[in-house]
Structure 1
Amino acid sequence: MKRKKGLRVLQSVLTFLVVFIFAFPFLWMVMASFKTQAQIMSTGQFFSFSPEARNYSSVFQEYDFLRFIWNSFIVAVGSTFFSLLLGLPAAYAVARYHLQKLGLIILVARIVPGITFLIPWFILFSKINLVDTYTSLILSHMLVGLPFIIWIMISFFEALPTEIEESGLIDGCTKHQVFMRIILPISGPGIITSSLLSFIFSWNNFMFSIILAGDKTKTLPIAVFNFMSYSEINWGALMAAACIITLPVLIIALLAQRYVVSGLTGGAVKG
C-alpha cells in the first residue's frame, strides 16, 4: 500500500516537473508582456512587478499589428482551404485505389525541406509578378500543408470500412455522392485535425514569408522583426506580439482538442 502511494507521489512530482518545464517559457512570455524593459532585465522582479498594458497598446498603435494579423489570417485560411479542397479527394483516391506510387511522391514532397523550393518559387513568382501577393504565399504554404493533410487523411480513410461505401452505392449513390455525403461527414475528426495542424503551420511560417511577402502582405512572424534593431530589442513589445500570435492558435487548439485526439488516433486501428 505504501509502495503504491509512493509511486503515485513520484508520478505526480514528475508530471509537475514536465508540465513546468514546458509551460515555463509560455509563462515567462506572458509575464514579460506586462513588464517594462527594465523589469524584464531585472532578475529580482520576475514575479514582483506592477503589470501594465503599455506593450500591447504599443503593438497596435505604433506597429499596425492588426494589418499583419489580417494578412496571416487570409494566408492561413486560404492555404488550409485549398489544401483541403485538393488533399481530401487525393487522400481518398490513394487509400481506396491503393495508389502507392502517388503516395510515395507525396511523401517525398513532404520530406524534402521547404527551403529547397524557396529559390524556384521566388524566380517563378517574380517572373509572373506575384511576389508580395496573397496568391504566392498561399501557394507556397500549400507546399507543406497539402502533403501533410493528404498523409493524415490517407490513414483515416483506410480505417473506414468499405461496407459503408457499398451500402451507399446500393442505395443509388454515385461514387462522388458517396464521398461527399457519407465519407466526408464521418471523417470530421480527421479533417479538423489536419486542418488545425495545417493552419498552425501557415500561421507560424517564417521562411516562405520572409522571401515572398512584402509591405502589403507582411505576416505576423515577419512583423516581429519590427521590434528588433541593431542596438536594442524591445522585449516588452516583442513578448506582447508573441502572445498575440499565440492566442488564436491556442484558442482553436483548446476548442478542437477533442477532435484532434480522435483524429490522430482514428487511423491507428482498422475496421
Structure 2
Amino acid sequence: MSTIAPHLSQGSTQPTGIPKRRKKPLRRQGYKIFRVAALTLVVLAFIAPLVWMFLASLKTNVDIYDASKTLIFTPTAANYETVLGRNNYFSFVFNSFWVAFASTALSLIIGVPAAYSMSRFAMRRSALVVLMARIIPGVSLLVPWYYVFSNLSMVGGYGVLILSHMFVALPLIVYIMMSYYDSMPLELEEAARVDGLTHIGAFLRITLPLSIGGVATAGILSFIFSWNNFMFALVLSGAETKTLPVAIFNFVAYASIDWGGLMAASVVVTIPIMVIALFTQKYIVSGLTAGATKG
C-alpha cells in the first residue's frame, strides 16, 4: 500500500502519471465534415451528367421528356442499334482514332526534340513563338486554312485534319516536355558527354528514356484533344473522313433533336477516353507534376 499511495492523488483512483485523453476539438471535426461534404458535391457534379447521359441513351425520346421516368423506366437498345448499326459509326470511330493517333505521333516526333533543344540551349524566343501559336484561337485560323487547303485540294482528306490538330497538339507537347526537361539534372548528360556521346546521343540514350513519363503524359493529352475536337473537323472533314464529334451533330436537326440517339452516340465517344484516362492516370499525374520542382 505504501508503494501505490504516492502515485495516487487524494480523492482519485487514477494515477497522476498517466495523462488524460483529450477530445478532438469541434473545429477539427467540423472541418472534416465540410471536406467530405465538399468532395461529395464535386464528385456528384462530375458524375451526375455522365449518369444522366447513360440513362438517357437507354430511353425513348418520350421517356426522356417524362420527369417521372428519370430513374425508373423500361430500357431499350434501339438508340445503340441506330448509332452502331444504321449510321455506321464504326467508320467514324476509325476516323477519329486514325486522326488522333497520327497527329499525336507526328507531334511527339517533332515536339519532344524541339522541347529538349529549347530547354537545354535556352531558346526562349522560340518558346515564346510556340506559346503564341498556343494562345491564338483556332477559330481565327479556320477561314485561312480552308482557303489554302481548298486551293491545294486537301479539304476533306485525312492530311488536313492531321495538320490542323497538330497546330494545337504540338505547342502543348512542347511546353509539357520543356518543363519536364527543365526539372532533370544536367549532370547525367554531362557525364554521358564525358564518355564520348554527342548532344544527340546523350538525348537518345540518357534523357529520352528518363522522360518516358512526360512523353506519355503529352501524348495522352494530345490524343484526348484530337479525339474531342469538333470545330476543325466540322469545317475541314469530308463525308468519308468525318470524325465522331461531327457525326454526333447529325442527330441535331432543324426542327427536332433525337436525344436518345444523341446520348447513345455521346456514350460511344466518351467510353474510349474514359478507359484511356483510367488506365493512364498515373502517367498523367506524374508527368504534369514532374516540372513543379527542380533538382
Q: Which has the larger radius of gyration?
A: 2
Secondary structure of the corresponding residue to residue 280 of structure 2:
helix
Partner of 1:255: 279
Distance apart, 1:48 and its partner CA: 0.6
| 1:104 has 2:125 as partner | no
When the two structures are superposed, what TM-score results if normalisation uses the length of structure 2? 0.89
| 1:60 has 2:84 as partner | yes
Partner of 1:85: 109
Distance apart, 1:2 and its partner CA: 5.2
Secondary structure of the corresponding residue to residue 172 of structure 1:
coil
- Residue deviations 1:71-121, cap 9 Å, x none? 011100011001001100110011000001101100000001011211111
Contact 1:59 1:240 in 2 (8 A): yes
Distance apart, 1:253 and its partner CA: 0.6
Distance in 1 separating the partners of 2:111 and 2:249: 33
Distance in 2 separating the partners of 1:123 and 1:10: 55
Secondary structure of the corresponding residue to residue 32 of structure 1:
helix
| 1:138 has 2:136 as partner | no
More helix by share: 1
Distance in 2 separating the partners of 1:267 and 1:187: 11
Q: Bigger relative contact order, structure 1 or 2, given CA contacts below 8 A and separation 6+?
A: 1
Distance in 1 separating the partners of 2:81 and 2:228: 22
Which of 230, 248, 262 is residue 238 of structure 1 equivalent to?
262
Partner of 2:10: none
Which of 94, 108, 113 is residue 118 of structure 2 equivalent to?
94
Distance in 1 separating the partners of 2:157 and 2:83: 24
When the two structures are superposed, what TM-score results if normalisation uses the length of structure 1? 0.97
4+ aligned runs moved over 4 Å, structure 1: none
Partner of 2:151: 127
Distance in 2 separating the partners of 1:177 and 1:34: 56
What letter corresponds to residue 76 of structure 2 in structure 1? E
Aligned residues: 271
- Residue deviations 1:217-256, cap 9 Å, x none? 0011110122121222111111010011011111111111
Structure-2 change in CA distance of 1:34 and 1:2 (3 Å)? farther
Which of 68, 76, 90 is residue 44 of structure 1 equivalent to?
68
Secondary structure of the corresponding residue to residue 161 of structure 1:
coil
- State the identity as a percent: 46
Contact 1:35 1:50 in 2 (8 A): yes
- Structure 2 gaps, min length 5: 1-23
- Structure 1 gaps, min length 5: none
Distance apart, 1:52 and its partner CA: 2.3
Distance in 2 separating the partners of 1:67 and 1:84: 26
Contact 1:92 1:157 in 2 (8 A): yes
| 1:224 has 2:248 as partner | yes
What letter corresponds to residue 23 of structure 1 in structure 2? I
Partner of 1:117: 141
Which of 148, 161, 164 is residue 185 of structure 2 equivalent to?
161
